[in-house]
Structure formats: C-alpha cells, structure tokens
Amino acid sequence: MNPIPEAARSGLEKFLKEDLAGAVVTTTSPYVDEDGQIYFDEIALRLGDGREVVVAAEMRSKWPAIVLEINPGDGWRDMSVPEDYRDELEGLTAEPWHPEPPETWDRE
C-alpha cells in the first residue's frame, strides 16, 4: 500500500474518534491485584455500525501500544485502514470531481 497522505490521515483519525466516541462497552475483564491496582484483560466495544472490536495492548518495537482488534467473521486481526476504513480512505484521497465542460451551443 502507498503511504497515506497527511491530510487523509487526519481525516481518518476524525472518523476513528467518532467511531470510538459512540462505541458501547459490551464486555470487560477487570482484575484488581492485592495492592488495589486495576487491570483489564479485555475491553470489548460495539461501534455504531455494529462492528465488535476489542481494545488490546501490544508491544510495538520497545513500546507498548493499544490497538483495536476486530473479528469480521474469519478470526481476530488488528484493525487497519486498508481493510476497515477503505471507503473513507478512498473518499479522502480521491481526485476532485470536475464536470465535463458543456458543449458549445450553436444558436444558428
């Protein structure tokens, strides 16, 4: 896949914020340790369009990151723009539409 332009990434981030702001928590797996620290093994969300996602922690290089995982019916995988926000990406990166110039009108 080609790199996603900065303006399109910004637009995609807005779509993601909207999806997550409207999400409903459907499942949690909290754990409280003996010192009172709270941890979660899993937090599952249902997005406004009905897709179910899980908030998961992963190591990316040397740093932990929080990712969204989705099961579109064939197993769990990390969510990605090319697979899960393809239409939004196409809309954000499409060439502007320019109508064809009208044919010249002969008044005679």
Residue 83: band (very low, low, confident or very high) from pLDDT cuts 50, 70, 90: very high
- Residue 66 to residue 42: CA distance in whole angstroms: 11
Neighbours of 86 (CB within 10 A): 11
Amino acid identity, position 103: E
- Hey, what long-range contacts does 13-21 have (CB within 8 A, 24 or more apart)? 15/85, 15/88, 16/85, 19/47, 19/48, 19/49, 20/45, 20/47
| pLDDT higher than threshold 70 for residue 68 | yes
Q: How many helices (H) and strands (E) does the chain have?
A: 3, 5
Whole-model pTM? 0.71
- Per-residue pLDDT tens over the stretch 13-57: 999 999 999 999 999 999 999 999 999 988 999 999 899 999 988
* Sequence ranges of the domains in the chain: 6-91
Q: Checking phi first, is residue 99 left (phi over 0); if not, alpha (psi -120 to 50) or beta? A: beta
**Residue 18 tokens, joined:** 């909207």
Give residues with Cβ within 8 angstroms of 6, minimum separation 6.
none
